């Protein structure tokens, strides 16, 4: 009888360990889905980082340098690159990229407005057009257009979109498999014991252990703030990454809390089933 009980405990403990690892994998996949690859959160954190305003200011500085080198006044940039245009262009670029679409940076209006401003300036100053002057104007307009496209382009979002495609393929396959494994092992644990509450107790142990792993690792990252050591430039880019990673880690904390709540419910169920046996 003792050998049977020992064997029963060993098998139950092994199943509980497997369940713990499976629950950790489930938490990881769900956390990545609702955190790292959550389009709404990415857009929110971009806004919070003051991204568009600082991209606009940076674009103004770079285009002013281009105009100074070419001998053109800063006034020719009037209405060419605006904060509204940067915001709309950047927002559409990020949204299209995250949705898996080919992002299109519309710079026609920037180019047209800049050419119009330069032409008006030349007419006001009475400057005659020559082939060399026209070639120089085209070069200036090209440089400004490229700076605008560079400012709108957000490489980190491209990486996220690329990784998300692979992740979603894995997510759709792994989640059903992991849920099936949880169900199978849970049934085996319950069938392994004479009383159901004994098997459910091991399931509760697995949920508690996996939740503790997720919460403790997330808490460690939040306390040490290792996610703040990215050192990316410019500042608004680093600020976005910091806020974005902090939220991602917090998602795992919330999932760990949900796991703990589930464990409490399982413990209550164990107590209820146990009391029903003893009261008979």
- The pLDDT confidence band at residue 176, using thresholds 50, 70 and 90, is very high
pLDDT at 232: 60
* Alpha carbons 55 and 82: distance in angstroms, whole number: 11
* Contacts within 8 Å (CB) and 24+ apart, 166-173: 167/32, 167/33, 167/37, 168/37, 170/29, 171/29, 171/32, 171/33
pLDDT at 1: 52
Residue range 13-62, pLDDT digits in tens? 999 999 999 999 999 999 999 998 999 999 888 888 888 898 999 899 99
* Alpha carbons 64 and 70: distance in angstroms, whole number: 10
pLDDT at 278: 59
pLDDT at 212: 96
- The pLDDT confidence band at residue 99, using thresholds 50, 70 and 90, is confident
Enclosing domain of residue 246: 2-38+164-272
What share of the chain has pLDDT > 90, as a percent?
A: 46
pTM value is: 0.82
Number of structural domains, the chain?
Answer: 2
280 lies in some domain = no
pLDDT at 231: 60
* Alpha carbons 273 and 114: distance in angstroms, whole number: 77
259 lies in some domain = yes
277 lies in some domain = no
* Alpha carbons 35 and 119: distance in angstroms, whole number: 49
Say yes or no to pLDDT of 168 above 80.
yes
How many C-beta neighbours within 10 Å does residue 227 have? Answer: 16
278 lies in some domain = no
Q: Are 174 and 143 in the same domain?
A: no
- Picking from 112, 129, 155, the residue at the C-terminal end of a domain is 155
pLDDT at 32: 94
Q: What is the mean pLDDT of the chain?
A: 89
8 lies in some domain = yes
Q: Are 14 and 64 in the same domain?
A: no
- Picking from 155, 188, 217, the residue at the C-terminal end of a domain is 155
* Alpha carbons 39 and 157: distance in angstroms, whole number: 10
- Picking from 155, 189, 213, the residue at the C-terminal end of a domain is 155
Q: Are 32 and 72 in the same domain?
A: no
Say yes or no to pLDDT of 272 above 90.
no
pLDDT, greater one: 14 or 103 = 14
Among residues 212, 166, 218, 156, which one has the least CA distance to residue 31? Answer: 218
Q: Region 140-167: what's the mean pLDDT?
A: 90
pLDDT at 33: 93
pLDDT at 26: 96
Residue range 212-242, pLDDT digits in tens? 999 999 999 999 887 777 666 677 788 888 8
pLDDT at 279: 52
116 lies in some domain = yes
pLDDT at 230: 64
């Amino acid at each position: 009888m003792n050998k049977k009980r020992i064997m029963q405990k060993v098998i139950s403990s092994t199943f509980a360990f497997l369940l713990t690892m499976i629950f950790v994998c489930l938490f990881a996949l769900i956390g990545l889905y609702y955190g790292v690859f959550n389009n709404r959160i990415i857009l929110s954190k971009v806004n919070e980082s003051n991204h568009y305003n600082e991209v606009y200011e940076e674009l103004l500085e770079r285009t002013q340098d281009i105009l100074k080198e070419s001998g053109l006044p800063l006034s020719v940039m009037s209405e060419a690159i605006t904060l509204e245009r940067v915001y709309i262009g950047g927002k559409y670029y990020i949204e299209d990229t995250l949705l898996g679409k080919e992002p299109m940076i519309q710079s026609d209006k920037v180019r047209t407005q800049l050419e119009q401003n330069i032409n008006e300036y030349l007419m006001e100053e009475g400057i005659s057009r020559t082939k060399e002057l026209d070639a120089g104007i085209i070069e200036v307009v090209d440089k400004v257009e490229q700076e605008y496209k560079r400012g709108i382009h957000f490489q980190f979002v491209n990486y996220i979109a690329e990784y998300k495609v692979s992740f979603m393929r894995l997510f759709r396959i792994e989640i059903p498999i992991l849920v099936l494994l949880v169900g199978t092992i849970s049934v085996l644990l319950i069938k392994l014991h004479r009383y159901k509450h004994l098997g459910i107790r091991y399931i509760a142990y697995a949920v508690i252990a996996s939740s503790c792993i997720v919460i403790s690792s997330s808490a460690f990252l939040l306390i040490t703030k290792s996610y703040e050591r990215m050192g990316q430039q410019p500042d608004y880019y680093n600020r976005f990454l910091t806020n974005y990673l902090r939220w991602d880690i917090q998602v795992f904390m919330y999932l760990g809390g949900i796991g703990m709540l589930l464990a409490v419910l399982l413990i209550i169920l164990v107590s209820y089933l146990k009391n029903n046996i003893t009261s008979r």
